[in-house]
Structure 1
């Protein structure tokens, strides 16, 4: 969400930022709505001032015995009361119109974010690790013979439909091991506080993190009007909604290992085989709340925390700076981490880390009290995957597959697997 006063004072810069997001000029339209609102507010103030003055005139007229004058002023006050009520209703409507117009506009990218319309313009920042050299043809995760019995796609489809999987036996344990390993790393070594948040949230929470109103079709809604979370970013970030924090409490770093639910409405026909793109999956989410001065460095730190998961698992990956056309709606800068999948012979996204500056904070009214200052400022928010458990499972299966159809368990996961060094031996 944007400050309309800032847009009014920086119309050209705002339109340039929206153009980088692939949108036409917006400032003139928004300022025109705000002009209507301001004019209405001014008229209301004048009407209220006249009503207050007229109310005093009634008493004076009656005190002087001028009943005719008192009656005329009483009639005027009655008309003013109706006009004020109508004006207040109109002001609420035009304020809602302005908020609706602002709420569907994406965040402004930082000036040095790469230009581009889609992922083809993303910029590779670094590669870490070496993809494994296999002496046999690499298989995709669902083709590995020794673990196929643990991937019960048909059973999941019978009860839930497509884009669900039922993991069994050693694969279910491996998925759980990955999640526990991630949350232990982020809390034990990286200083994030673990949270167990609600998985159902109200409209206001999703509006605060900018999934609503624009992306309702990507979400699952319950019959009582609540929503299943698409990511723990939603409840974790909303922990500070409506609050005023002390600067000493920042940065605030929180993490959660939760199921996530997405309708994947815009992905028809993409990644239909296997479990790369599911309606339900586990993810270890990272959220930071900072001062404006801290947020740039915090993004680098958060990305490094996500990278460390892949380093400990021995998985090769690359870090990409997303271009203006590929960034998420609420982000000002995003780094994607893409893991190497031998079965696909390509890198695929496994984590996305973004800084939103005060975009979400304005929607949530989340502020802090700077040391030594009287006024309040909006916090900056960041979110990232630390990391997606399902995709990490795919990466482990494909990178550690053996010729006999078994999968070697990475060293980092063996304590969570009861010491097992291999699963699915043929």
Structure 2
């Protein structure tokens, strides 16, 4: 949600920010609605004050036996009494219209975010690691995985397209990856959480999935939503709270299943394990003071990069352009891992700073030490990493000519010392 005061103070800057995000928005309309609403609030306050004043004057007029004056005042009070609910209803309507308008507009991009239309306009920040060199043709994960337990056919039979049954060696490797990631992120200072994976409307609104992106979500028959990412549950921990400055920063992490309808991905990644309706992910969320959010964004992204470094996977960091960022993000770094079977980089993590955008939707604040006034916190979120996509990366980067897959050294303790997964 946006700070209406900033829009009032510089409407041209707001329109420019929305234009960079390819969103048709009118600060003029927003400010006009806000002015109408504030005018009604002032009218209601004036009417209430006059009503109170006139009510007192009725008693004085009657005490003086000035019946005509008392009658006029009583008529005025009756008129004000009838008018006040009308003002309040109109103000509520305008407020709802204004909130709905603001709720549908994305966050303002940070000043250093490149302006662009799509992923082709993203900016390379750095590239790390060494791509593997094979003396045999590299295969994609969907050719390697079935012999290790990635059962695409049974997954489809059980649940339909974009579901996979994972068994045997592949299941052990996926669980090892998830636990390793969780341990790595915990060591970086994030508190482990086991959150609900079904949440209410308010939680989805708070992190920006609702109302705009309902079609991307799964909903239960009783109205709850399956989380598309643990960001929803973890960020909403501070919903409608006033934290003390001493409590910040708060850092949470969780390994959860995530559920996405992939409404806009028809025809994309229909093969394999890249884009699923259900997948596991280790999520990081930070709640910080505004003056710490820049440093926290770098810290969080470096934590995710540390997972890839430890696994020995080549990757690059991309700064997303305005047209490729998520709705709530002010800046996003994508980490893209090298997949030799596909001969390309693929996204494996997104780390975003949302400034106070989500905090305003959640009404999450903190009170600076020694001050009475409160301020909105800043929220950040990032993948540390998407477990299924990391499984894909390990299969493709550690594949052997005989169909087996070497186990990265850091994962071997999680697999009882096993250093190679052999096909069945």
Q: TM-score surpassing 0.5?
A: yes
Q: CA deviation at 1:54?
A: 1.8
Which whole-Å deviations, capped at 9, do the CAs of 1:366-388 have from their partners, x for residues lacking one?
A: 11111233321111111000010
Q: Which residue of structure 2 aligns with residue 186 of structure 1?
A: 185
User: Counterparts of 1:336-415 in structure 2 under 5 Å?
Assistant: 336-415=334-413
How far apart are the structure 1 equivalents of 2:322 and 2:148?
42
Q: Which residue of structure 2 aligns with residue 20 of structure 1?
A: 20
Q: CA deviation at 1:344?
A: 0.6
Question: Are 1:278 and 2:272 matched, yes or no?
Answer: no
How far apart are the structure 2 equivalents of 1:160 and 1:83?
58
Question: Higher mean Cα deviation, 78-87 or 285-294?
Answer: 78-87
Question: Are 1:164 and 2:188 matched, yes or no?
Answer: no
How far apart are the structure 1 equivalents of 2:98 and 2:245?
31
User: Counterparts of 1:228-307 in structure 2 under 5 Å?
Assistant: 228-307=226-305
CA contact (8 A) 1:142 1:148 kept: no
How far apart are the structure 2 equivalents of 1:128 and 1:230?
29
How far apart are the structure 2 equivalents of 1:286 and 1:190?
10
Q: CA deviation at 1:64?
A: 2.8
Which whole-Å deviations, capped at 9, do the CAs of 1:364-417 have from their partners, x for residues lacking one?
A: 111111123332111111100001001000001111111111111111111111
Q: Which residue of structure 2 aligns with residue 37 of structure 1?
A: 37
Question: Higher mean Cα deviation, 372-381 or 273-282?
Answer: 372-381
RMSD: 1.4
SS state at 1:74 partner: helix
Q: Which runs of 5+ in 1 are unaligned?
A: none
How far apart are the structure 2 equivalents of 1:98 and 1:122?
33
Question: Higher mean Cα deviation, 369-378 or 409-418?
Answer: 369-378
How far apart are the structure 2 equivalents of 1:393 and 1:38?
55
Q: Which runs of 5+ in 2 are unaligned?
A: none
Q: State the aligned residue count.
A: 424
How far apart are the structure 1 equivalents of 2:81 and 2:392?
67
**Distance change >3 Å, CA 104–CA 25, structure 1 → 2:** closer
How far apart are the structure 2 equivalents of 1:222 and 1:62?
64
**Distance change >3 Å, CA 185–CA 218, structure 1 → 2:** same
TM-score, normalised to structure 2, is 0.97
Q: Which residue of structure 2 aligns with residue 103 of structure 1?
A: 103
SS state at 2:290 partner: coil
Question: Are 1:320 and 2:302 matched, yes or no?
Answer: no
Q: Which residue of structure 1 aligns with residue 218 of structure 2?
A: 220
User: Counterparts of 1:127-138 in structure 2 under 5 Å?
Assistant: 127-138=127-138
Q: CA deviation at 1:25?
A: 4.8
